[in-house]
């Protein structure tokens, strides 16, 4: 009998009897091509050639798909590469025989050298980039899942490296028919179901550490659990694509753990030629469970996520740049808000973090150079927490290093930043009181919305996953938005997407491409009263959370005041989101364009494809002086 088949039969039989004879210890066996780790609850097989997870059996049931190509679990940057003959280097990094069967860990390493690594979406025929890769899998006794992590190394002899789509994907058995991404995307998704497109299955990564699929027929589930967000890109506001069942290509459901992507403005992980760089993605947990239905199974996965977060950092990770609990630090302090335009000094939804300072990411022939901030950074680690209403915060388990401290909160335009925070090994750093004085350009005349980094308070924002919602604007607002300060309500009178006004009766949304039908220019008119004719400089401040257009024209009382240009795109409207890359633009103009009494300021999105719109987080008009 073939040795590999024999090992699988042993694995299958042991799992089939696990309900009667529970196997508490981990065993590790191997053949020429693979490692098999088994603890009586799950049995997994790891390829020594690629680092792929070829099989995942839970209580005698195979949870991975059976299909040609990648029909299992795999990192998009695996250990095989595309070109070159250098073989992967498999090894046992934790032998269960040395710890009484408590834990096993295997490694598959690849030295890039003259070959490029990575085969993810958008990768060229010769691969993605030159970077060394080590993929590890670990299985503990009595555990209902397996851990995986990937170590990337770029040495001083390697050329420029730019990560493409970087993720861990698992293709699941077709009996999985219920997807659970967050509280709003938790639904029956059987084979053949095709509502919307795959970009509606997204969520904030930071608030949804457990996500995956369950089966209404087998009553089993498989979930990814991120016990920490330190290795992910984009910080706490990053929306990501977490899974789908792409009926146009394949029926098998998949679950995706993106640590760097181009979605919703994306992130960058670019390493300069000769730069010495290392990053560990994970470990994260691939968790299998069972229950009486999808709700119970998903609830159990979320509870498991809490347990995993409490165990972070995992003490069994050795031999790589992964500080233990005792080697990590705590950073605490108190923010004090000093904003003359806000009556209360209390914070709402205060978010505080440590991240790398904004930097120029290496890009060939980039003109002009673009600064990469924490929202678009996937190269470095980030650490975030929630603060209290009184402004106190405590960021735990921070890696030693030098960071910039950032903070933002609902109701305050802009963000706090303090550079050169030096975090030392095993220390508690008390930053004391930090006074935050938000920027003001003069007296506030009016505001629209709430500064909260998304468009959630505006009309129809809760329907952003409706792939046809952009087309509905022309039906709901045939005469466009006419918003009167003091009378109109953002919940009913300000459509959350400022898009070209559709004129095509056959307009439809296409998967991946959104709505490309042409639309006419769309004016959003804002009417307001002034007690006297102003003088000096007025500043229109726009906080933007989604961009498809490159410019916005601005008119005041029927006269052109100019335009905002060179707006960065993030495809949020194309891909049905309510937030992407947040940024602020200031537009200063002569206050003499305004007058005593009724005034109208108009924001105009140019004619073009309906995708080419914009989403505002918040708008404010300020006046330097008023007479």
The CATH number given to whatever domain includes residue 456 is: 2.60.120.260
Least confident of 41-50, 58-67, 139-148, 538-547: 58-67
Residue 500: count of CB within 10 angstroms of its CB: 26
Say which range, 3-7, 300-304, 412-416, has the weakest mean pLDDT: 3-7
Q: Do residues 501 and 422 share a domain?
A: no
pLDDT at site 545 = 98
> Greater confidence, 534 or 198?
534
Of 410, 436, 462, the last residue of a domain is 436
Q: Residue 249 — very low, low, confident or very high, per pLDDT cuts 50/70/90?
A: low
pLDDT, mean of residues 589-613: 97
Residue 319: inside a domain, yes or no? no
| Domain shared by 332 and 204, yes or no | no
pLDDT tens for 211-247 read: 999 999 999 999 999 999 999 999 999 999 999 986 6
Residue 126: the pLDDT is 82
- pLDDT tens figures, 557-585: 999 999 999 999 999 999 999 999 999 99
**CB contact burial 487-499 (16+ within 10 A = b; e otherwise):** ebebeebbbbbbb
Query: Do 504 and 548 belong to one domain?
Result: yes
Confirm whether 62 is domain-assigned. yes
Each residue of 50-84: pLDDT tens digit? 999 999 999 989 999 986 666 699 999 988 865 55
Q: Which CATH number do you get for residue 349?
A: 2.60.40.1120
- pLDDT for 464-484, tens place per residue? 999 999 999 999 999 999 999
Rounded Cα gap, residues 609 and 515, in angstroms:
7
Residue 119 has pLDDT above 80, yes or no: no
The two structure tokens encoding residue 300:
């159990």
Q: Say if 320 falls within a structural domain.
A: no
pLDDT band, residue 18 (cuts 50/70/90)? very low
Q: What is the pLDDT of residue 118?
A: 85
* DSSP-derived secondary structure letter, 388: P
Please give the share of the chain, as a percent, with pLDDT higher than 90: 84
Residues 110 and 80 sit within 8 Å (Cβ to Cβ): yes
**274 falls in which pLDDT band (50, 70, 90)?**
very high
Q: What pLDDT score was predicted for residue 55?
A: 97
Q: What 3-state class would DSSP assign to 513?
A: coil
**Whether residues 450 and 594 fall in one domain:** yes
Cα distances from 238 to residues 203, 351, 520, in angstroms, run: 8, 13, 31
Question: Same domain for 226 and 117?
Answer: yes
**According to the model, what pLDDT value does residue 11 have?**
55
Whether residue 169 contacts residue 254, with contact meaning beta carbons closer than 8 Å, is answered with yes
**Residue written as token pair 């070829």:** 54
Indicate the average pLDDT of the chain.
Answer: 92
Question: Which of 66, 63, 25, 16 is closest to 44 using CA atoms?
Answer: 63
Q: Is the pLDDT at 140 greater than 90, yes or no?
A: yes
Are 307 and 367 in the same domain?
A: no
* Position 263 in a domain: yes
pLDDT tens-place string over residues 422-466: 999 999 999 999 999 999 999 999 999 999 999 999 999 999 999
* CA pair distance 558, 566, nearest whole angstrom: 24
Domain termination residue (choose one: 384, 416, 436): 436
State the average pLDDT over residues 254-281.
Answer: 96
Tokens 């999105």, residue located: 605
* Residue closest to 71 by CA, chosen among 87, 93, 89, 56: 56
Q: Which two tokens stand for residue 77?
A: 């940057």
Instruction: Tell me: pLDDT of 498 over 90.
Output: yes
Beta pairing partners, 204: 239
Q: Report the SS3 class of residue 472.
A: helix
Q: Are residues 270 and 408 in the same domain?
A: no
Distance of CA 448 to the CA centre of its chain: 27
Residues 408 and 473 in one domain: no
Residue 144 and residue 40: Cα distance in Å, rounded? Answer: 9
* Contact criterion met (CB below 8 Å) for 152 and 59: no
Q: What is the CATH number of the domain that holds 107?
A: 2.70.98.10
Domain annotation covers residue 385: yes
Furthest C-alpha separation in the chain: 94
Q: Is residue 577, in this structure, part of any structural domain at all? A: yes
Q: Summarize the confidence of residues 388-403 as an average pLDDT.
A: 98
**229 and 350 housed in the same domain:** no
Whether 317 is in a domain gets the answer no
**What letter does residue 11 receive in the DSSP assignment?**
H
Domain count, the chain: 3
Name the domain boundary from 279, 311, 343.
311
Burial class (CB in 10 A: 0-12, 13-18, 19+), 21: exposed
Q: What is the mean pLDDT of residues 150-155?
A: 97
Which of the pair, 196 or 23, is modelled with greater confidence?
196
Distance between CA atoms of residues 261 and 115, nearest Å: 22
Q: Are residues 416 and 510 in the same domain?
A: no
Looking at the DSSP bridge assignments, the partners of residue 42 are 58
Q: Answer whether residue 261 shows pLDDT above 70.
A: yes
pTM, two decimals, is 0.93
- CA–CA distance, 106 with 51 (Å, rounded to integer): 9
Structure confidence at residue 627 (pLDDT): 42
Answer yes or no: are the C-beta atoms of 419 and 430 closer than 8 Å. Answer: no
Other CB atoms within 10 Å distance of the CB of residue 348: 12
Give residue 24's pLDDT band: very low, low, confident or very high (50, 70, 90): confident
**Can you give the length of the chain in residues?**
627
Residue 342 within a domain: yes
Which neighbouring-strand residues pair with 377?
268
pLDDT-derived band of residue 209, with 50, 70 and 90 as boundaries? very high
Q: Is 500 within 8 Å of 609 (Cβ atoms)?
A: yes
The 3-class secondary structure across 394-462, one letter per residue, is EEEEECCEEEEEEEEEECCCCCEEEEEEEECCCCEEEEEEEEECCCCCCEEEEEEECCCCCCCCCECHH
343-379 pLDDT tens trace? 778 999 999 999 999 999 988 876 677 789 999 999 9
pLDDT for 342: 78
Indicate the pairing of strand 329-337 with strand 392-398: antiparallel
Same domain, 194 and 65: yes
| Torsion region of 422: left, alpha or beta (phi above 0 gives left; psi -120 to 50 gives alpha) | beta
Instruction: Quote the DSSP letter at residue 100.
Output: T
- Look at residue 191 in the predicted model and tell me its pLDDT: 86
In 234-297 the beta strands, taken as DSSP E runs, fall at 239-241, 243-244, 254-260, 270-271, 277-290
pLDDT band at residue 137 under the 50/70/90 scheme: very high
Rounded Cα distance between 140 and 94, Å, is 11
pLDDT at 248 over 90: no
Answer for the pair 172, 297: CB distance below 8 angstroms, yes or no: no
| Rounded alpha-carbon distances, angstroms, from residue 616 to 184, 369, 389, 524 | 22, 25, 26, 12
Q: pLDDT at residue 552 above 50?
A: yes
Burial class (CB within 10 angstroms; exposed 0-12, middle 13-18, buried 19+) of 531: exposed
Owner of token pair 């003069």: 442
Answer yes or no: do 418 and 465 share one domain.
Answer: no
Query: Based on the number of CB atoms within 10 Å of its own CB, is 478 exposed (0-12), middle (13-18) or buried (19 or more)?
Result: exposed
pLDDT of 367 reads: 64
Q: DSSP class of residue 358?
A: P
Domain that holds residue 453: 443-623
Enumerate residues 6+ apart whose C-beta is below 8 A from 186.
178, 179, 180, 294, 298
């Amino acid at each position: 009998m073939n040795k590999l088949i024999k090992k699988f039969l042993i694995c299958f039989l042991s799992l089939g009897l696990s309900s009667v004879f529970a196997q508490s210890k981990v065993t590790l066996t191997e053949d020429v091509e693979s490692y098999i780790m088994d603890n009586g609850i799950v049995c997994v097989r790891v390829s020594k050639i690629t680092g792929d997870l070829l099989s995942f059996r839970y209580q005698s049931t195979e949870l991975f798909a059976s299909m040609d190509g990648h029909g299992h679990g795999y990192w998009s940057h695996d250990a095989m590469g595309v070109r070159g003959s250098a073989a992967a280097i498999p090894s046992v990094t934790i032998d269960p025989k040395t710890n009484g069967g408590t834990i096993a860990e295997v490694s598959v390493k690849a030295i890039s050298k003259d070959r490029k690594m990575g085969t993810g979406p958008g990768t060229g025929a010769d691969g993605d980039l030159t970077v060394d890769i080590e993929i590890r899998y670990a299985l503990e006794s009595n555990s209902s899942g397996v851990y995986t992590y990937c170590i990337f190394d770029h040495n001083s002899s390697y050329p420029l490296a730019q990560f493409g789509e970087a993720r861990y994907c698992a293709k699941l058995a077709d009996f999985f028919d219920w997807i659970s991404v967050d509280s709003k995307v938790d639904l029956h998704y059987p084979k053949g179901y095709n509502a919307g497109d795959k970009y509606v299955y997204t969520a904030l990564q930071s608030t949804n550490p457990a996500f995956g699929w369950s089966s209404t027929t087998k009553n089993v589930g498989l979930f990814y659990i991120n016990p920490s967000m330190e290795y992910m890109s984009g910080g706490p506001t990053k929306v990501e694509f977490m899974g789908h069942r792409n009926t146009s290509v394949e029926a098998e459901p998949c679950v995706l753990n993106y640590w760097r992507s181009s979605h919703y403005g994306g992130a960058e992980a670019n390493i300069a030629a000769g730069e010495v760089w290392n990053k560990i993605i994970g470990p994260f947990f691939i968790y299998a469970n069972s229950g009486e239905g999808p709700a119970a199974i998903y609830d159990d996965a979320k509870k498991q996520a809490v347990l995993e977060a409490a165990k972070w950092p995992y003490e069994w990770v050795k031999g790589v740049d992964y500080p233990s609990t005792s080697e990590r630090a705590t950073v605490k302090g108190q923010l004090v808000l000093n904003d003359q335009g806000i009556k209360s000094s209390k914070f709402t939804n205060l978010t505080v973090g440590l991240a790398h300072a904004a930097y120029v990411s290496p890009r060939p022939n980039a003109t002009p150079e673009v600064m990469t901030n924490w929202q678009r950074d996937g190269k470095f680690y980030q650490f975030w927490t929630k603060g209290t209403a009184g402004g106190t915060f405590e960021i735990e388990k921070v890696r030693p290093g030098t960071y910039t401290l950032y903070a933002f909160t609902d109701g305050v335009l802009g963000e706090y930043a303090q550079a050169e925070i030096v975090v030392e090994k095993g220390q508690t750093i008390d930053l004391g009181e930090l006074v935050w004085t938000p920027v003001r350009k003069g007296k506030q005349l009016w505001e629209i919305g709430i500064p909260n980094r998304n468009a959630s308070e505006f009309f129809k924002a809760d329907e952003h996953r409706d792939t046809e919602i952009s087309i509905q604007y022309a039906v709901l607002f045939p005469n466009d938005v006419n918003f009167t300060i003091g009378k109109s309500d953002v919940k009913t009178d300000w459509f959350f997407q400022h898009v070209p006004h559709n004129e095509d009766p056959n307009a439809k949304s296409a998967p991946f491409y959104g709505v490309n039908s042409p639309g006419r220019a769309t004016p959003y008119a804002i009417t307001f009263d002034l007690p006297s004719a102003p003088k000096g400089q007025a500043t229109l401040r726009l906080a933007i959370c989604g961009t498809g257009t490159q410019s916005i024209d601005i008119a005041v009382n029927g006269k052109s005041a100019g335009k905002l240009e060179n707006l960065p795109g993030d495809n949020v409207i194309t891909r049905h989101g309510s937030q992407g890359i947040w940024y602020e633009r200031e537009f200063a103009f002569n206050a003499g364009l305004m007058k005593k009494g009724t005034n109208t300021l108009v924001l105009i999105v140019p004619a073009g494809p309906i995708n080419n719109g914009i989403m505002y987080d918040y708008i404010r008009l300020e006046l330097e002086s008023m007479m």
